[in-house]
Structure 1
Amino acid sequence: MATGQLQTPIAGAPARFGSRALDAIEARLEAERERIGLWLPVALGAGIGAWFALPAAMHWIGGLLVLAGGALAGWLIGWHRRLGRMMIAGCGMVAAGLLLVWLRAVWVAAPVLAAPATTEFSAIVERVEPLPAKGKIRILALPQRRSDLPPRVRLTLRGEQAAGLAEGEAIGVRARLMPPPVASLPGGYDFAQRAWFDGIGAVGTVLGEVARAPGRGTARPSVRVRPSAHIHGQIEGSAGGIAAALVTGDRGAISEADEEAMRRSGLAHLLSISGLHVTAVVTFAMLAAMRLLALSPRLALAGIVLPLAAATGALAGGGYTWLAGAEVPTLRSFIAALLVLAALLMGREALTLRLVAAGALIVLVWRPEALAGPSFQLSFAAVTAIIALHESRRMQAFMARREEPWLFRLGRGVAGLLITGLVVEVALAPIALFHFHKAGLYGALANVVAIPLTTFVIMPFEALALLFDSVGLGAPLWWIAEQALRALIALAHGVAEAPGAVATLPSFPPWGFALAVFGGLWILLWQTRWRRAGAVPLAVGMAALLAAPRPGLLVTGDGRHIAAALPDGGYALLRDRAGDYVRDTVAEAAGVDAPLLALADLDHVECNRDFCRWAQGEGVARRIVLASRGRDRIEGADMAAACAAADVVISDRWLPRECTGRWMTIDRDSLAETGGLAIYLGEAPEAVATLKAGDEHPWRRPQQLSGNDEAVPTAALAR
């Protein structure tokens, strides 16, 4: 009896502790009840992200079962508790996100070219994208009468090949086609994934002339191309390219140097039509409509000026979104503008995080794959950070109107803009480092000048110039816009070339990125003191980034380009004639912002016509590397000794059986399975591959076409 009396209170302690914990969580959730709904798009996005992160259908189904278990646990906690309802709804939204993107990937499935092929075929031009800065034109084409080719291919032509080419036109081409390329190095841009959701089954370059059949299609440029061509005729060079980007989203005329300067200075967001541009168009259209409609006493007294002006702004924003191609940032901004207009008409507060959450839900349901791209992440992170900052009590108190000299008001406004820029830079830094391996450090300062210059000078004068061009009076306005654009470019170069303007780091571990994003959202979306807990996962995620080691060797997917880390923090390339694209890709993966040296020019590297040999690393991490760079065939017996003396052997060719390194041998066969490699030569060497074993995402195992059927002669179109 005494024993039973002692056990009862001990056995009841866990139950009482669990009950107190649930009560404490309920109290927290009750205090945050207005913010709980903001987590619905986060849960939907978590499911979409889980589908991209998990490799196979078995894992996706297992994830759905785990979520079903989580929903059951919420039901056991009880629907009467907020925690129970949140667990049920949250697990349901995560499962919905996983199923949504899975179904979307199946829905858009299209055949993909199996291997490179050179062939002739006829096609209908679906879309034309001029690239004046590169002297090229990129088109989406629909091959005709070729069951062995994908239904949609992307082709690149020289400017003279495609002069006057228009959407809807029938053409005949001879092209070198290849499957959509995967990332050449781990952590790089995977075009194969993007191409899958865009329905692109091959990419290639047109060889020779293009046969034209104007009678089968329109010869009139598209609505999007015509404004861009008109703007380029008024303003030359990159200034004209930026002017066109602000109107149509066409960035093809911006030189690579100027575009890189915009990225490094933190001004690249101005080139992507998003909130700033759509808001300006809707606001100007709405204000102009209100002024004009208010001239009618009848309309003013009827109280319909505001609804009509809001409708005008919505139509202007919709037209602008359509003209700009309805990309994710533009669409998100247009949806947000519509919600703001609806809130104004209802007399509700317009700019809230609920608006951002609603916009995110709409975009994710419409295009769930957008979550994986930097465009969606950057645009929504920036808007969320801005609104969360200005909803905080301290910021509202700082920016509140008060009686003070105009100079103080101006200083307060500039300080507010600078604080906003700093918060946005901090919010976007993990995303930029994860996707691009670099982030601008002076973007907040640059935007203090660039945003007002773009909003109040460049865009208004450009819009007026386009309007006055209808009567031939736009030249003075174009001159003003051009000077402002050149000032913007000069600002970008000045900031980009400043010492320490860019932070570069190697690949961000995906789990660290996920923790950093979750911690940032926890801080931004909650209001009470427990938001501070988000600093823990944010700090852990950023620590994972800062602690990420530099790869000792980088090997591209084709095996031709090898980069080796140097003791001073730089990298050297095996083939010093590599193009700018390869150099940029390697520099991003390595996390460096310095020119890549030539490996053969270094003192510790021994090279002949066929191979280079050097020691990589120091101490216990020291490894001997042997890399091929010639094209001549070498007998296995002649290579055996050199290979056996090396820890790592790398070749873009097939190596004979006699050539085997002590730790790793990389050749064409192995690279076909692994893709590009990042090799870490520490005490426990590790190789990270671009292609993961067992990856069952549809773009990894698509239906493949040979591209080897009998070609349709391009001359047949002329007949």
Structure 2
Amino acid sequence: MASDEPPLVPLGNASPVGAALQQKHWRMPQDLSSAHVRMAARAERFLGTAAFDQGPWAVVGLAAGIAAWFAGDSTWQWLSAIALGLGLALAAVAILSADGRFPLLRRAVVVMTLALVAGCVLVWIKSALFGTRPIARPMVVQLDARILAREERPAEQKVRLVVATREPESGRAIAVRVGLDSAADRAEFAEGALVRLRARLVPPAPPMLPGGYDFARSAWFSGLAATGSVLGPIKVLESGKNDSPIRRAQRALSLHVRKNVGGSPGALASAFASGDRGAIAPADEDAMRDSGLTHLLSISGLHVSAVIAAAYVIALRLLGLLPWLALRMRLPIVAAGIGAGTGIGYTLLTGAQVPTIRSCIGAVLVMLALVLGREPLSMRLVAVAAAVVLLVWPEALVGPSFQMSFAAVIAIVALHGTRAMRAFFAPREEPIWQRWLRQVAGLLLTGVVIELALMPIGLFHFHRAGVYGALANVVAIPLTTLASMPLIALALLFDAVGAGAPFWWLAGKSLELLLALAHWTAGMPGAVTMMPAMGKGAFALFAAGGLWLALWRGRVRLWGLAPALLGVLLLSRVAPPDLLISGDGRHIGITGESAGELLVLRQTRSDYTRDNLLEQAGMKGETRLLDDWPGARCSDDFCAIILRRGGRDWQLLLARGTAFAQERALAAACERADIVVAARYLPHSCQPRWLKADRRMLDQSGGLSIDLARLKIRSVADEEGRHGWWNPPQPRPRRPQAEPSGSTGADDASAAMLPQ
């Protein structure tokens, strides 16, 4: 006799937990007349078939809450997000618990919403408690300061000091980072020394342009109230205590490595051994970045995992030579403890930066999983590592380091967790050359998947992505992990008996090969893809699609391709802004007039300024002065240019000098212009037809990017919102007046600059 109850929904690849829940609780609702009941039933069925794992998704919810706080720009938006999350959780408990037929749906809604609320509250509390208010304005001051940290940068011939002092105006205790020439470097500048110095201090810089690097945000969470440079000699008032043993060991190790391996290979060897990247030449850093190998320069997952794995294997083999120990103890547990201890020591030795700590946590969790007999590489383990980092450093979520490292690990775990990859790597009887060929093919496929996962992140943060990175990493990663790092370790070991020279020579040759690969790859045609700033919406679609692909099981994971493809569509429609204006109004970039060239108002010796303009324009070309462009007319004080955009002509008047123009002439020139840009305050009588971006406006808006065809303006202020690190100066109560004296040649030029 047929049963009246409908059959259970098959779980496919569902977890045992999901199967148990389904067997105990899930039945098709009998009353399907209500639309919301049908929707709930479909959601319950989906969660059962796709094997909802609440651990990883709870971390996703935590990250979403942190991201919502950064994306919101005011208190009411943050409170609204919290209230919405709590409301959804309460509604799920009240409605779905009463029904009792949808346990998976209820759990999913409650877990995700409460995690989102927790993330938003967590980062808000940390910002309120630990955020450091920047100084109000630039200043030149004499300070008595205590040295907290010291960073040597031989490639730039600079030394950076982080010092504790008091703000001259308010007297509050602040931390300041200052730079000085390495020629002034002396042994007295040790951590803990009390010094007197004269320095020019400025507030931590916000993004120069919308979508640029936000140092002000980083300084807010790291405790820096100002940055600057030392003017003149430093007087040591009190000698510092010797640096910490770890710091001394790090510096001694860096110097020892560079002494034995000279030039660029020595700088890379120092980075691998001690985490000191200060000696790497800018040209080598650019080549490593453009070839997709820059991740090898920072002590992260690859290095920490290699060190821990090597320590584990060596300890296991050596301990296995002691029969009396092998018979009394479980050697894998002892070896795992030695590996974990080695990884922690390596993390401390290399500076214990957040990315290194994050990698160490993940590697130690792998050791713990091996000891417990669990799967060493699983999505739950990745989720635990991410949760630990986010709970301690929630601000790390919006940085490229966190995103890239976890995106790469998630991509690896998701790829190798599929049935196809498990079958591909399953042991089988075959010739050794076929086994090696499968390993190489798997490594290449893994590299391609990692590059696809990292490309949106690189485009979002750096506006560039390496095209041949997957191929370069197929060679570079084995070269680094199987040759360079073991040779450096052997060289250091044999240096104890004075026999390390052969290993140093071999390590240098392997690093020369790595640098040659980087420069060759970076120099290939089309090696780097440059794009203008990607919108946050497109980036969110890529992130959502990638997480969907990684965290679900079965065919439903393919639905993640939909948001990813939509992100690709939005990305393909991104066009460079027509006009880029820096926050101080001094630097202006114009795109679309000269193929492969960015027109600029003035040249600069700052690589930072030039690179920002080119990156935001999505160009890898050169800059060209407006003075040299036939379509522009320039005097000593003004440049004028007509841009054809959106089916009409736009007339731009750009101030170059700082001298005031005769007010009547300037007002007439402004009246005929659509856009006026100046690094100084302009009088109220200057009224262009569309936009006046003078000092008064730019102080409040920050840098601008303007799309003339769409009449769209993006500003730094719009992206920063009302977070504590965005500290625009208050507008001055009085407006300066233009020079009332008679007209000069420059004034006549400003009046006649624009065509009638």
**Cα shift at 1:292:** 2.1
Which residue matches 2:741?
none
Matches within 5 A, 1:646-685: 646-682=673-709, 684-685=710-711
- The answer on 1:188 being equivalent to 2:206 is no
Which residue matches 2:88?
70
Which residue matches 1:112?
134
Range with greater deviation from structure 2 (585-594 or 566-575) = 566-575
Which residue matches 1:123?
145
2: CA distance, partners of 1:366 / 1:629: 47
Matches within 5 A, 1:331-480: 331-480=357-506
Give a deviation string over 1:301-360, Cα, whole Å, max 9, x none: 113322211111111000111122222321222111111111111111111111101100
**Cα shift at 1:602:** 1.1
| Contact 2:264–2:281 (Cα < 8 Å) also in 1 | yes
- The answer on 1:50 being equivalent to 2:75 is no
CA distance 1:291–1:619, change in 2 (3 Å): closer
Q: Which has the higher contact order (CA 8 A, sep 6+)?
A: 1
| Contact 1:188–1:585 (Cα < 8 Å) also in 2 | yes
Which residue matches 1:607?
634
1: CA distance, partners of 2:207 / 2:167: 31
Structure 1 counterpart of 2:76, which letter?
M
| Contact 2:699–2:729 (Cα < 8 Å) also in 1 | no
For the residue of structure 1 that corresponds to 2:639, the secondary structure is strand
Give a deviation string over 1:43-90, Cα, whole Å, max 9, x none: 000000000000111111111111112112311442442111111111
Q: Which of 30, 43, 50 is the equivalent residue of 1:32?
A: 50
| Contact 1:43–1:90 (Cα < 8 Å) also in 2 | yes
CA distance 1:695–1:668, change in 2 (3 Å): same
Matches within 5 A, 1:622-637: 622-637=649-664
Which residue matches 2:25?
none
Structure 1 counterpart of 2:359, which letter?
S
- The answer on 1:206 being equivalent to 2:230 is yes
| Contact 2:576–2:616 (Cα < 8 Å) also in 1 | no
| Contact 1:112–1:703 (Cα < 8 Å) also in 2 | no
Structure 2 counterpart of 1:393, which letter?
R
CA distance 1:694–1:468, change in 2 (3 Å): closer
CA distance 1:514–1:173, change in 2 (3 Å): same
2: CA distance, partners of 1:522 / 1:693: 27
CA distance 1:157–1:50, change in 2 (3 Å): same
Which residue matches 1:494?
520
Range with greater deviation from structure 2 (506-515 or 373-382) = 506-515
| Contact 1:113–1:150 (Cα < 8 Å) also in 2 | no
Structure 2 counterpart of 1:440, which letter?
G
2: CA distance, partners of 1:244 / 1:676: 38
1: CA distance, partners of 2:482 / 2:95: 55
Structure 1 counterpart of 2:622, which letter?
P
| Contact 1:48–1:94 (Cα < 8 Å) also in 2 | yes
For the residue of structure 2 that corresponds to 1:487, the secondary structure is helix
Range with greater deviation from structure 2 (237-246 or 421-430) = 237-246
1: CA distance, partners of 2:652 / 2:520: 41
| Contact 1:150–1:201 (Cα < 8 Å) also in 2 | no
**Cα shift at 1:13:** 9.2
Which residue matches 1:157?
180
| Contact 2:655–2:678 (Cα < 8 Å) also in 1 | yes
CA distance 1:643–1:150, change in 2 (3 Å): farther
Q: Which of 514, 529, 537 is the equivalent residue of 1:503?
A: 529
CA RMSD of aligned residues (A): 2.0
Structure 2 counterpart of 1:325, which letter?
G
2: CA distance, partners of 1:630 / 1:187: 28
**Cα shift at 1:282:** 0.7
For the residue of structure 1 that corresponds to 2:714, the secondary structure is strand
| Contact 1:332–1:363 (Cα < 8 Å) also in 2 | yes
| Contact 1:112–1:702 (Cα < 8 Å) also in 2 | no
For the residue of structure 2 that corresponds to 1:383, the secondary structure is helix
Which residue matches 2:17?
none
Structure 2 counterpart of 1:168, which letter?
G
Range with greater deviation from structure 2 (531-540 or 360-369) = 531-540
For the residue of structure 2 that corresponds to 1:415, the secondary structure is helix
CA distance 1:187–1:673, change in 2 (3 Å): same
Unpaired runs of 5+ in structure 2?
1-29, 731-756
Structure 1 counterpart of 2:496, which letter?
S
Give a deviation string over 1:82-128, Cα, whole Å, max 9, x none: 11111111110000000000011112133421111111112111111
2: CA distance, partners of 1:198 / 1:686: 34
Q: Which of 644, 647, 670 is the equivalent residue of 1:620?
A: 647
For the residue of structure 1 that corresponds to 2:108, the secondary structure is helix
2: CA distance, partners of 1:310 / 1:367: 27
CA distance 1:150–1:680, change in 2 (3 Å): farther
**Cα shift at 1:208:** 0.8
- The answer on 1:231 being equivalent to 2:254 is no
Which residue matches 2:589?
563
1: CA distance, partners of 2:109 / 2:329: 46
| Contact 1:264–1:501 (Cα < 8 Å) also in 2 | yes
For the residue of structure 1 that corresponds to 2:149, the secondary structure is strand
Give a deviation string over 1:447-501, Cα, whole Å, max 9, x none: 0110011001110011111222233222221111111111111111110110111
1: CA distance, partners of 2:272 / 2:432: 32
- The alignment of Structure 1 onto Structure 2 pairs a total of residues equal to 692
| Contact 1:110–1:703 (Cα < 8 Å) also in 2 | no
Which residue matches 1:89?
111
Give a deviation string over 1:22-56, Cα, whole Å, max 9, x none: 22221221233363322111100000000000011
- The answer on 1:286 being equivalent to 2:286 is no
1: CA distance, partners of 2:671 / 2:167: 53
**Cα shift at 1:677:** 0.3
| Contact 2:193–2:238 (Cα < 8 Å) also in 1 | yes
For the residue of structure 2 that corresponds to 1:691, the secondary structure is helix
2: CA distance, partners of 1:500 / 1:483: 28
Range with greater deviation from structure 2 (92-101 or 164-173) = 164-173
Unpaired runs of 5+ in structure 1?
1-11, 705-719
Q: TM-score, normalised by structure 2?
A: 0.88
1: CA distance, partners of 2:714 / 2:327: 70
Q: TM-score, normalised by structure 1?
A: 0.93
Identity fraction in percent:
44
- The answer on 1:142 being equivalent to 2:146 is no
- The answer on 1:583 being equivalent to 2:610 is yes
| Contact 1:76–1:84 (Cα < 8 Å) also in 2 | no
Range with greater deviation from structure 2 (595-604 or 57-66) = 595-604
Q: Which of 59, 74, 78 is the equivalent residue of 1:41?
A: 59
Give a deviation string over 1:513-539, Cα, whole Å, max 9, x none: 112101110011111211121111112
For the residue of structure 2 that corresponds to 1:224, the secondary structure is helix
For the residue of structure 2 that corresponds to 1:124, the secondary structure is strand
CA distance 1:332–1:621, change in 2 (3 Å): farther
**Cα shift at 1:701:** 4.9
1: CA distance, partners of 2:139 / 2:258: 36
CA distance 1:33–1:703, change in 2 (3 Å): farther
CA distance 1:427–1:100, change in 2 (3 Å): same
Give a deviation string over 1:187-217, Cα, whole Å, max 9, x none: 0011110001000000000011111245343
Which residue matches 2:37?
19
| Contact 1:78–1:85 (Cα < 8 Å) also in 2 | no
